[in-house]
């Protein structure tokens, strides 16, 4: 169960965020309203939400998940793989001190975006991607190993981050799209396969037996609900324009 979440408010420079989609430039005012609703959804799932101030220097800094990974034993500050995002970690590292865990940093030449990190109990699957390299994954394994966690790499072929295409919904159940539907590493899990026309919804978020699903992806929402989950739809269309999913917008622990 999670008790806490940390989010970072969108900055007005969001409109200059990194994007590979053809969905257009995000509307900043609308993004702020969607962020308010997202925070309310986290609170509705029982989380105490810490809201960090916007970081105008970094257009993508609202996607705080990429910068940090929190376990009961430590906080890992990542080293984002895109150079334009690397400085996002400074303010996040300062803010995370309040949670009373040792703060450990991924260092050069390692790179790691925590959007590539998917936890399944005491194991962490980590996407080997354009953003996360083998050195970064090795460092994460060194950091988490002493606390009893294991780490393995999953080479990505078509998605930005591992969790762009697969989400663990607890109960041995995975929501998966594309290359992850039949992935041998996930053969032991119940796979809920997301249709191609709803690929974006493969990034849904389990929080305390509820699942946040992006608004407008009704087939995926119905699929998740049919497996016994209480779902909550949240409109994150302005963040989708920057390749950001629901999970990217928070740390949950
Ligand atoms: N726009 C989010 C990212 O590329 O990391």
CATH no. for residue 36?
3.75.10.10
Q: Is 244 in the pocket of ligand 1 (CB under 6 A)?
A: yes
User: Structural domain of residue 187, as residue ranges?
Assistant: 4-252
**What residue spans of the chain are helical by DSSP H?**
28-44, 89-96, 134-144, 162-165, 218-226, 237-240
Query: What is the CB-side half-sphere exposure of residue 14 using CA atoms within 13 A?
Result: 28
Q: What count of Cα atoms within 13 Å lies in the side-chain half-sphere of residue 162?
A: 28
Q: What would the mean pLDDT of 41-70 be, rounded to a whole number?
A: 98
What digits encode the pLDDT tens for the residues 60-103? Answer: 999 999 999 999 999 999 999 999 999 999 999 999 999 999 99
- The secondary structure of 160-217 as a DSSP string is SSHHHHEEE-STTEEEE-GGGTT-GGGTTSEEEEPPGGGGGGG--EEETTEEEEETT-
DSSP 234: E
CA distance 231 to 160: 25
Which residue is associated with the tokens 């959007």? Answer: 115
- How many A from CA of 114 to the centre of ligand 1? 12
**Residue 242 in contact with ligand 1 by CB distance below 6 A:** yes
Q: Is the CB of 18 under 6 A from ligand 1?
A: yes
Residues 7/64, Cβ–Cβ less than 8 Å: yes
Mean pLDDT value across the chain: 98
CA of 146 to the centre of ligand 1 (A): 31
pLDDT in tens, 196-207: 999 999 999 999
Tell me whether residue 161 is one of the annotated catalytic residues.
yes
pLDDT at 142: 98
| CA distances for 146 relative to 40, 122, 142, angstroms | 36, 12, 7
pLDDT on residue 68: 98
Q: Of all atoms in ligand 1, which is nearest to the CA of residue 63?
A: 2
Distance 209 CA to ligand 1 centre (A): 28
**Rounded mean pLDDT of 218-225?**
98
Instruction: Compute the average pLDDT of residues 94-118.
Output: 98
User: Which residue among 35, 68, 161, 173 is the active-site one?
Assistant: 161
What is the share, in percent, of the chain residues with pLDDT greater than 90?
100
pLDDT at 206: 98
User: Is 32 a residue of the active site?
Assistant: no
Of the residues 11, 45, 173, 248, only one is catalytic, namely 248
Q: What pLDDT shows up at residue 247?
A: 98
Q: What does the pLDDT average to over 101-119?
A: 98
For 168-209, how does the pLDDT look when each residue is reduced to its tens digit (9 = 90+)? Answer: 999 999 999 999 999 999 999 999 999 999 999 999 999 999
**CA–centroid distance, residue 189 to ligand 1 (Å):** 29
> What's the number of domains the chain is made of?
1
**Per-residue tokens: 201:** 């919804």
Pocket test for ligand 1, best of 239, 243, 249 (most atoms within 8 A of CB): 243
CA distance 36 to 14: 16
């Amino acid at each position: 169960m999670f008790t806490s979440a940390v989010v970072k408010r969108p900055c007005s420079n969001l409109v200059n965020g990194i994007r590979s989609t053809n969905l257009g430039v995000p509307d900043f005012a609308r993004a702020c309203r969607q962020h308010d609703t997202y925070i309310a959804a986290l609170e509705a799932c029982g989380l105490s939400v810490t809201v960090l101030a916007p970081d105008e220097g970094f257009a993508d800094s609202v996607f705080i998940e990429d910068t940090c990974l929190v376990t009961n034993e430590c906080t890992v500050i990542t080293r984002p793989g895109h150079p334009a995002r690397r400085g996002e970690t400074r303010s996040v590292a300062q803010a995370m001190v309040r949670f009373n865990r040792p703060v450990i940093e991924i260092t050069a030449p390692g790179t790691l975006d925590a959007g590539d990190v998917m936890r399944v109990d005491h194991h962490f699957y980590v996407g080997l991607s354009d953003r996360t390299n083998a050195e970064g994954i090795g460092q994460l394994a060194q950091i988490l190993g002493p606390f009893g966690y294991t780490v393995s790499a999953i080479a990505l072929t078509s998605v930005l981050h591992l969790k762009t295409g697969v989400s663990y919904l607890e109960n041995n159940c995975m929501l998966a799209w594309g290359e992850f539907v039949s992935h041998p590493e996930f053969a032991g899990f119940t796979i809920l396969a997301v249709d191609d026309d709803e690929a974006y919804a493969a990034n849904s978020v389990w929080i305390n037996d509820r699942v946040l699903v992006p608004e407008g992806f009704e087939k995926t929402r119905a699929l998740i609900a049919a497996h016994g989950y209480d779902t909550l739809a949240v409109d994150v269309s302005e963040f989708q324009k920057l390749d950001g999913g629901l999970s990217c917008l928070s740390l949950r622990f």
